[in-house]
Copies of this chain bind each other. A is one copy, B any other.
Amino acid sequence: MKRIFEVDPWKVISHELKPEDKRLQESMTSIGNEYMGMRGMFEEKYSGDTHKGIYLGGVWFPDKTVVGWWKNGYPHYFGKVINAVDFVSVDIKVNGESIDLAKDSYSDYEVSLDMKKGILTRSYVVDKNGAKVKVTSTRFVSIAFKELYANKLTFENLGSEPVTLEVDSVIDADVYNEDANYDEQFWNVLSKQVSAKDGRLVAQTIPNNFGTPQFTTEMAMHHVTDMEAKGLGKEEDKQVVNTFAKELAANEKVAFEKRVIVTTSRDYADEKDLDEATSKLLDSQAEKTFSELLTAHEEAWDKRWEKADVKIEGSDEAQQGIRFNLFQLFSTYYGDDARLNIGPKGFTGEKYGGATYWDTEAFAVPLYLALADKEVTHNLLEYRHNQLPGAYHNAQEQGLKGALYPMVTFNGIECHNEWEITFEEIHRNGTIAYAIYNYTRYTGDEEYVTHDGFDVLTGIARFWADRVHYSQRKGLYMIHGVTGPNEYENNVNNNWYTNMLAKWCLNYTNEIADKVSDEKLAELGLTEEERNKWHEIADNMYLPEDKELGIFVQHDTFLDKDLTPVADIPADQLPLNQNWSWDKILRSPYIKQGDVMQGIWYFIDKFPEDVKKRNFEFYEPLTVHESSLSPSVHAIIAADLHKEDKAVEMYSRTARLDLDNYNNDTNDGLHITSMTGSWLAIVQGFAGMRVIDDELQFSPFVPKDWEGYNFRINFRDRLLEVTVNKEGSSIKLLKGDDLTIKLNGESLTLTTEK
């Protein structure tokens, strides 16, 4: 654990800059608007350790696969989110010398991310050979104007002598990825334009051998300032530069605004279209003041918070934690573009390639369903529908029928190349189907599941029907050679979770097939015979259970292991993944993230309490929660079982994962998809929210150390506010038609206050 920011309900704020924590500070102060985003690196020069990272949603490169030993079926490339052309950097010179806080003396340092408004500000007073200048920076990527990045710098001469100030503002394509397989650069410059106050650069990703699109991006900078433009701008090899200067008298202050319009070939067909669009977009901001642009952005954030805020009384730390998580999630994805998804590091780092994982469907969908309009989740589902051809391709690569959604992807084609994950962690396919079910259950809207959703379900059902095999000896269908959600075991047989989900998928698809049109069935070529086969497989699917222990068995031979609980592992051997060999981990009974528990969570209202209890009490003591996705699921199930202390313990491991750098890796970027965990733990866990038979239900409790909490929920065109405190719980309908819900088992009809 390492906490480098102060505790504050709405801000991530620090008054210190430790060089060894620079990357951590950058990760934590990332901003984004789904369309683009960036880490909190400085605009000005910094010669110390830093990770300059700017990313454009959906812009990536297929980097040729690196393996030690090739296996048939491995994908040929790993998709990488690529570091965009740098439009942020500004070199600030005081009396001819660049500010560089890695070397300069400075004081009054503050960095502050305002989560309510979505603005990053920073200020300090630098002492350059006796010249004291106060520098402030305010920057945002507008959620009201997606192509716009705006940065306002102010410089104030605090000394008694005049100071010459010079600013070089650049657009620079000479950038590298920290995570590139061959240390290659991904951008070629196509064209440059520069004038005294403006500059433009068009760059294209380098060609690739895999038939995936090359991306073109145009960056256009415009400056608003009282500083004087020096010269007519400069073109260097891979950059354009505008230079401004001013002599500041003692106590004089000057402002400098850099506004950048970013467009890409994702939205515009060719360079000409890009150029025209860029010009139009430049025009549309030209007449507006920084403050007007900022206000539009803040108002948009207000709307988001109005629907989604969670208030916690009695724990400022928890308050800051939940808001930070929601802020970063919304900065990464807010459903504006069905071609985008939620990368595990969002716009905050390069690790994991920035692509789509099953985390989205498993952990993000339930949150977006409740916190945003249903179109947001609908777009997440459409993303997978659009990538169905890729999923068919992936199955075919394995010699299998149907559709296999990828472990990691940008375009539907599998990117990952560990056989035990790529080929075996096929339970992901079940979660893609589950998300459709979840959406349908929450919204009550069957339109999706009976149309596009049914294409997806059918592809998935066909995959399962081919992936199972019939065991003559047992007289049952089995699924061999899988990795369950617990990635600390590989290549197991009959993983209960996977088999259960496969069976459920076959049944659910058959159930929906009864509701879809004949045209749809015909279009998919779905026959009675095929549906009967699905029934037969589902009816005869082997689900390992242990009668004596009364539990579901994680996989065939799990109970043969040495089942010593985690509590008996010496503390200095934890986390296992940093202390044990992979061999020892694999053979151990220790669970990285819930496996049987993941399945119980998905269908939490379908299992009897004693079954849930026996399984939880058997598996949780064997679980090391070394995936950031694990504790929240356990918090919810613990709360469901009235194990309130356990639920709170689990919650505490997810709420401030990045704020307190629990895993000691937040310097690489934030754990975006895990950020849903704290919200899930509060809403589904502490407040016990469920949707059962079209009805919203709650059974809340307040953690001992809290006074209370309050959150808002969006449910079938209503906005509800749930307040829970020591005195009890109350639910208000803020917007929408009357609604009957259950609170602690009792029906309650809610009406808006007139």
Interface residues of A (CB under 8 A from B): 65-69, 71-74, 78, 397-400, 417-420, 423-424, 469-474, 478, 480-481, 490-491, 493, 556-557, 559-563, 577-578, 580-587
**A559–B583 CA distance with the chains assembled, in angstroms:** 25
**A68–B75 CA distance with the chains assembled, in angstroms:** 12
B residues in contact with A587, CB < 8 Å: 469, 480-481
Give the number of times this chain occurs in the complex, counting copies: 2
Given contacts A72-B582, A400-B583, 4 further A-B contacts (CB under 8 A): A399-B580, A400-B584, A469-B561, A471-B561
B residues in contact with A493, CB < 8 Å: 557, 560
**A585–B557 CA distance with the chains assembled, in angstroms:** 21
**A398–B582 CA distance with the chains assembled, in angstroms:** 8
A419 touches B67 (CB 8 A): no
B residues in contact with A71, CB < 8 Å: 582
Other-chain residue from B424, B473, B585 in contact with A559 (beta carbon distance below 8 A): B473
B68 touches A582 (CB 8 A): no
**A5–B419 CA distance with the chains assembled, in angstroms:** 40
A-B contact pairs, 18 of them (CB 8 A): A72-B577, A73-B581, A74-B582, A398-B581, A399-B583, A399-B584, A400-B583, A419-B586, A420-B420, A420-B491, A423-B582, A423-B583, A469-B561, A471-B561, A471-B562, A472-B562, A478-B560, A480-B560
B72 touches A586 (CB 8 A): no
B68 touches A583 (CB 8 A): no
A474 touches B423 (CB 8 A): no
B480 touches A557 (CB 8 A): yes
B residues in contact with A472, CB < 8 Å: 562-563
A583 touches B470 (CB 8 A): no
A585 — nearest CB in chain B belongs to which residue? Answer: B72
Chain B nearest CB from A498 CB (Å) reads 13
**A468–B555 CA distance with the chains assembled, in angstroms:** 20
B residues in contact with A490, CB < 8 Å: 491
B73 touches A583 (CB 8 A): yes
Chain B nearest CB from A3 CB (Å) reads 28
A557 with B560: in contact, given A69-B418, A481-B586 (CB under 8 Å)? no
| From A68, A73, A472, residue with most partner B Cβ within 10 Å | A68
Chain B nearest CB from A266 CB (Å) reads 28
B418 touches A582 (CB 8 A): no
Chain B nearest CB from A584 CB (Å) reads 5
**A582–B69 CA distance with the chains assembled, in angstroms:** 12
A69 — nearest CB in chain B belongs to which residue? Answer: B418
A73 touches B582 (CB 8 A): yes
B397 touches A581 (CB 8 A): yes
Chain B nearest CB from A443 CB (Å) reads 36
Chain B nearest CB from A406 CB (Å) reads 14
B residues in contact with A581, CB < 8 Å: 72-73, 397-399, 423
A583 touches B398 (CB 8 A): yes
**A515–B582 CA distance with the chains assembled, in angstroms:** 38
Chain B nearest CB from A668 CB (Å) reads 15
Chain B nearest CB from A474 CB (Å) reads 6
B residues in contact with A417, CB < 8 Å: 68-69
B residues in contact with A561, CB < 8 Å: 469, 471, 480
Other-chain residue from B68, B480, B580, B583 in contact with A481 (beta carbon distance below 8 A): B583
Chain B nearest CB from A258 CB (Å) reads 40
B residues in contact with A584, CB < 8 Å: 398-400
A560 touches B471 (CB 8 A): yes
A556 touches B556 (CB 8 A): yes
B residues in contact with A491, CB < 8 Å: 420, 490-491, 586
| From A471, A580, A587, residue with most partner B Cβ within 10 Å | A587
A491 — nearest CB in chain B belongs to which residue? Answer: B491
Other-chain residue from B68, B470, B577 in contact with A68 (beta carbon distance below 8 A): B68
B residues in contact with A74, CB < 8 Å: 582
